Amino acid sequence: MPEERRLRIPGLKDRIPAACDFVMHAARSAGLDERAVHHCQLAVDEAVTNIIEHGYRGDGLNQSIEIICRAERDRFVIVVVDDGPPFDPLWQSDPDPLASMEDREPGGWGIYFIKKVMDEVVYTDEAGRNSLMMVKHVQDAPRLENLRDHVALKVSVSNPVDDIWLFAPHGRLDARLCPGLDRLMTDKLEAGKCLLVLDLGDVEYVSSMGLKTMVSLWQRARECQGNLVLAAVQTRVHEVLQIIGLDLVFQIFPTPNEAAAALDNPPA
């Protein structure tokens, strides 16, 4: 019999990290490599976020989301079940990741993202409940056990060059960190400090909320005649940016110093 784990959480955004951690541990126990574990976390983060924001309209205190993880012989299965209005996200056509920010339609990106990082995605209506099954194929890889938990979340803020501010989050750019990072960077934008560097050198994971936060801050910086650029992006995070097409939107520099220098000396 396949090994199965279950988790039920209320439909609240502050419970999304718990869902991701649950899937992370289950995926590692199933023998997935770290890249595949990362993809599973991203997919669940996006699926649960969509349920809370759209299915439960941001008010899921009295509603729940069930997450089922099942380790089979050659695949790892995640099923996310909710009680929102019936909705099949797979009917939508895929958006264009090469389109400019101005031409992008607001919907459809979540399920597109899930389809890109998972090997199989299937929707079913089970007795009036939405059920989204996401599958990652298990490759031959060593089992990873007794790994440390991720470091505590924090953000370092510095002012390396006049009028340029550098923000360096540490750990995971997800639902726990994004509100605080958004507040810190918004404070600078509202004070007219619109040249910002986001140093991602110590960020190993960016969730859908992290991506939305980055895009929102970038748009606000551009609106005040400034810019938000990225620096030291790790390979896994860069892959996520490429999947969504955001590597064509953000300027990305190898180091924070190079990013700050580019903002300090923009091309004529």
- pTM to 2 decimals? 0.70
Q: What top-level class would CATH report for the domain 154-264?
A: alpha beta
pLDDT digits (tens, 9 = 90+) for 191-250: 999 999 999 999 989 988 899 899 999 999 999 999 999 999 999 999 999 998 999 999
Specify the amino acid at residue 265.
N
Same fold, 3-137 and 154-264: no
Classify residue 205 as left (phi > 0), alpha (psi -120 to 50) or beta.
Answer: beta
Q: What is the mean pLDDT of residues 34-60?
A: 91
* Sequence-separated (6 or more) residues with CB below 8 Å from residue 75: 119, 120, 135, 136, 137, 138
What average pLDDT does range 20-25 have in this prediction? 96
Q: What is the tens place of the pLDDT at every residue in 90-120?
A: 777 766 666 666 666 655 677 888 998 999 9
**Domain formed by 3-137, architecture:** 2-Layer Sandwich (3.30)
Question: If pLDDT is split at 50, 70 and 90, which confidence band does 57 have?
Answer: confident
Taking 90 as the threshold, does the pLDDT of residue 267 lie above it? no
- pLDDT of 254 strictly over 90: yes
Domain ranges of the chain: 3-137, 154-264
Q: How far apart are CA 25 and CA 151, in angstroms?
A: 16
Write down the pLDDT at residue 146: 31
Task: Give the tokens for residue 33.
Answer: 């490599």
Check residue 128 and give its pLDDT: 83
Grade residue 179 by pLDDT with cuts at 50, 70 and 90.
confident
pLDDT in tens, 110-160: 788 899 899 999 999 888 899 999 999 987 533 333 322 332 337 888 888
Of 122, 149, 116, 118, residue with least CA distance to 136:
118
